[in-house]
Structure 1
Amino acid sequence: MNNKHPIRILLCLFVLASLVAPIFAQKRGKSIIYGVVNDGALIEPIAFIENGKLTEAVGGDSDPKDLAAFVKNYYKPKTAYRLIFGGATAGTVTVKNANAKSDCAKNMADVTIQSTKVKIGGFVMALATDLVSKSAASGLRRKPTAAEKAEIDKLVRAELTAQNVSAAAQKNLHYHNLTVLDVDNDKKPEMVGSYWVETGAEERALLFFIAGQNARGKYEFGYSSFSTLKKEEVMSQDFKDVDTTGLDHELLLDVFDIDNDGVAEIFTYSPGFEGAGFYAYRRENGKWTRVFEGSNYHCAY
């Protein structure tokens, strides 16, 4: 009789373990990655992740049945996701509630963040995911030094000059974000930046870029995107929304290696008046290429 007790104990332990298994391990279907936005109070879906590739998630303008199923599967209260900062797990993002019938956040969720490492707020955003990357992330994410920023400012001015932005406009460089990262843990930093200048009372010039160090240890752009924005193109007709809150700019979320190749993809966010755009970049042959572009409708302005 005594020989049976260990078996019974093991069976009991197995049952208990299955009941209290972390929500992290619950199968919801496809893996997913979110932007952690609104000062860390919301998560917004960027994309599903399948075999190292990104596919568009359920959008805010999707069929009500699809939205209801998405919220049920991914936003159960107390569902936990990994907070990604500097490409590494830096805490937990826990779902508080979600409502597929809400006016402007049908596929988003209210969350709380538990982290002793980072504070999310303003233009300092992050990612959340249920995917576990097999790569050893650096976890590096910081502001640039004065010398690093001076070097980047020179590159920015050179690019603006190439785009026919006047020297007078370049005297006052503005930026929403300039962040130092290490996407492949090689101790050689990359930088992601979102700059802008006032080219007139009715126009702005915007520049988003990814920069890395060349063989000489000098920064150069591996990707850049220049655009102009006229006041008449701003829905509110007020540049304050663009200049202070970052609307219509492309902004860094964070980095995460989704395909386990040892180089993290860079994820960005473009907030708008009626929704948001999401982008992902992958380094290929030393250059960064946009490999994903998605959008999420919120509601009419």
Structure 2
Amino acid sequence: MGVVDTVLRDNPVVRAVSARVAGGDYVHAGVDAAVALTDTGRWVSFERVDTEEPDVVLADAVGLARALFDAGLGGVSEIDVFPFDLGEERLMVLARACAETRVDLMLGFGDGADIDITWELADRLRATGASVGVTLSAAMRRTESDCREWGDTRIRLVKGAHQPSGGPIFRSTHEVDKSYVRCARALIAGSGMASFATHDQRLVEIVEALADKRLRLPGTYEFALYAGRRDAEQQRLLAGGHRVRVSIPLGPDLLARVVGNLVQQPSALASGVLALVPRRSVAG
């Protein structure tokens, strides 16, 4: 039996969380994960990873925002959605719920996303009082310009696994990496709470160096990583005063997604899965 099976079989608390997920209680399973992670000083972001009907996704997202608020986690939590999967009417409902619960709303970047439409949508959503961020892909040639223009807003910068529409893109990994650095420089020069989503150690260190040069203090920007990935690096960043936001998958694949993220790091599997377990449950 492999390490994945052993962890899931032998730990009763992991089995309990698994039962919640299997029973469809994604919201409370997600809150359990958030409690465990925020207890360590991390911030959290939730991404729906299955393909439920839009009304189901909306209901779960609104329920999650309220549950996070009730758990005292509204100010350190974020919900990540793909805007064109939900539609503007549902997004307005979610934005109002996020405003009421102090949960941030991040607009994700899926295949075929149109960034101009996304910027306009973000402005309308902010009218609800919600804190709304936009995800930009360094693979897009226009992103450096967008980072300069919108650097005073909240932007999450990713390398870009999806193929966006709305302009030419960089094709090679090397060109995307160079674009990421240029975009990071523009964001560090701005005043917004930039979020640098990357597991590339070299890029993390470049962002830190750019921030030092611009006298941007740790905590005035953040690094975003997946739950269970690069835990030692997360600890290093936390020790340096950085804000670290951990992405938690929401849906029936909550545990499976985290385990999948750890395939390349089997030695970290147990700690990664146990990161989804509330400390109070382990202690009690």
Structures share a fold, TM > 0.5? Answer: no
Q: Which entry has the higher C-alpha Rg, 1 or 2?
A: 1
Larger proportion of helix: 2
TM-score of the two chains, using structure 1 as the length reference: 0.27
TM-score (normalised: structure 2): 0.29
More strand by share: 1
